[in-house]
Amino acid sequence: MKQPKFYNHWVLIIVLALVSIGIVMVLSASGGMADYRYGSPAKFFLKQVLWVVLGIFSLLFFSVFDYNKLKKFVVPLLIFTVLLLISVLLFGTTVSGAKRWLRFGPVGFQPSEIAKITVIIFLAWYIDRRTSKIKNFNDGLLKPFFVVGFILILIFLERDFGVPFLIFMITVFLLFVGGANYLYIIFAAAAAVPVVIYAVIKEPYRLKRITTFLNPWADPQGAGYQLVQSLIAMGSGGLFGTGLGKSIVKMLFLPDPHTDFIFPIIGEEFGFIGTMLILSLFFALFIFGIKIAVNAKNLFGQLLAFGITVMITLQALINMSVSVGVIPTKGLPLPFISFGGSSILVILTSVGILLNIGKQLKNE
């Protein structure tokens, strides 16, 4: 139980299981829509396979790359991430009213995905360097939030609310486990409330999401359409589901069912059992990720492992909660499963870093 290989083997098995489920479900969820719109039922499936292969290579590389060497790249990585986020605002492609994508020919990439792991590496490095001063207001709150806040503003300007929310939660968590004064963390969280309220009120579509989330059936053909279709899919699956490929809601009823709302398709085709399997896999990944973090040989590794584990599992929890109407729509993909090249590449890279931390536990 104390050997790094035990933790790493289970993390790898869980991740490969989730990725495999994701590949199958992307094909199942997107086949009919892709055939209707593009005349190629395997269009999104093939793209997902390509990104998964690239992601696996990245995972393998970072699983043998000493995570301590990442400290040397913190500042260049921050600069690179900021430049990418600025480039999106200047030259990005607008999709569904949000400018989040940089395109290089046929290949699209979402820099905000890189921002998530960049912030985790930065905070782990910063807290590790400032351990003795982390309880000070200046070092434990102002400085880290100045850097992270600048990144959040750039992402927010892309009309992306989900990723800034996720990064903010990760930041609060890492500062807390890193030893920052909890009163300062509460202050930061309280200070964020009016910002969130302003962001919701400023954009009518965000306010509509809140009211829709509270009662989607009030406008089932309008603002509540997506959530209503999601709930119908989840309810239609029953205990064991309708069977792989037999979802009805994915047939042009639920918009883009292979992306953020792929979880309801799993619910319809594999029922309550299928959704509980997905939930259990993420829960197990959380447990083993935390075990790696607790047993990491230094503070930098502990914070890095904590951050990666929380990023993956919190994003999964948010996505699944949105799908069943527990929280308003956030626009976050389901890790390892939803279609999306940037997401799968960054997530698998992060897992590679986690595995490398798991190879160097303090009890070895």
pLDDT in tens, 172-229: 999 999 988 888 888 888 888 887 777 777 766 667 777 777 777 777 777 778 888 9
DSSP assignment of 77-142 equals: HHHHHHHHHHHHHHHPEEETTEEEEEEETTEEE-HHHHHHHHHHHHHHHHHHHTGGGTTSHIIIII
Residue 96 confidence class, pLDDT cut points 50, 70, 90: low
> Is 232 inside a domain boundary?
yes
pLDDT digits (tens, 9 = 90+) for 27-39: 999 988 888 888 8
Number of folded domains in the chain? Answer: 1
Which range, of 93-102, 300-309, 329-338, averages the lowest pLDDT?
93-102
pLDDT above 70 (res 5)? no
Residue 108 pLDDT: 76
Classify each residue of 336-353 as buried b or exposed e, where b means 16 or more C-beta atoms within 10 Å of its C-beta: bbbbbbbbbbbbbbbbbb
In whole angstroms, give the CA distance from residue 116 to residue 353.
Answer: 14
Q: Of how many residues is the chain composed?
A: 364
> Is 152 inside a domain boundary?
yes
Instruction: Supply the pTM of this predicted model.
Output: 0.93
pLDDT above 70 (res 22)? yes
Distance from CA of residue 207 to its chain's centroid? 23
The residue among 110, 69, 116, 73 whose CA lies nearest residue 92 is: 110
The residue among 129, 101, 95, 98 whose CA lies nearest residue 114 is: 101
Residue 363 pLDDT: 62
pLDDT above 80 (res 336)? yes
What is the domain range of residue 130? 4-358
> Is 195 inside a domain boundary?
yes
Q: What angle do CA 304, 307, 308 make, to 5 degrees?
A: 85
> Is 60 inside a domain boundary?
yes
pLDDT above 80 (res 329)? no
Report residue 263 as tokens: 């979880």
Residue 65 per-residue DSSP state: S
Residue 132, class by beta-carbon neighbours within 10 Å (0-12 exposed, 13-18 middle, 19+ buried)? exposed
Residue 60 confidence class, pLDDT cut points 50, 70, 90: very high
Helix (H, G, I), strand (E, B) or coil at 361: strand
Q: Are 239 and 207 in contact (CB under 8 A)?
A: no
pLDDT above 60 (res 90)? yes
| Residues 6+ away with beta carbon under 8 Å from 138 | none
> Is 95 inside a domain boundary?
yes
pLDDT above 50 (res 292)? yes
Q: Are 200 and 210 in contact (CB under 8 A)?
A: yes
Residue 327 confidence class, pLDDT cut points 50, 70, 90: confident
pLDDT digits (tens, 9 = 90+) for 266-286: 999 999 999 999 999 999 999
In whole angstroms, give the CA distance from residue 361 to residue 26.
Answer: 36
Please give the radius of gyration of the chain, using alpha carbons only, rounded to the nearest integer: 20
Q: Which sign does the torsion angle of CA 50, 53, 59, 62 carry?
A: negative
> Is 363 inside a domain boundary?
no
pLDDT digits (tens, 9 = 90+) for 120-179: 999 999 999 988 888 888 888 888 999 999 999 999 888 888 899 999 999 999 999 998
Report residue 336 as tokens: 């390892």
> Is 223 inside a domain boundary?
yes
Q: Which sign does the torsion angle of CA 3, 22, 246, 259 carry?
A: positive
Residue 181 per-residue DSSP state: -
Residue 97 confidence class, pLDDT cut points 50, 70, 90: low
The residue among 177, 181, 189, 74 whose CA lies nearest residue 138 is: 181
In whole angstroms, give the CA distance from residue 339 to residue 27.
Answer: 9
pLDDT digits (tens, 9 = 90+) for 231-275: 899 999 899 999 998 988 888 788 888 888 999 999 999 999 999
Residue 296 per-residue DSSP state: B
Amino acid at 117: I
Percent of the chain with pLDDT over 70: 96
> Is 238 inside a domain boundary?
yes
Residue 1 confidence class, pLDDT cut points 50, 70, 90: very low
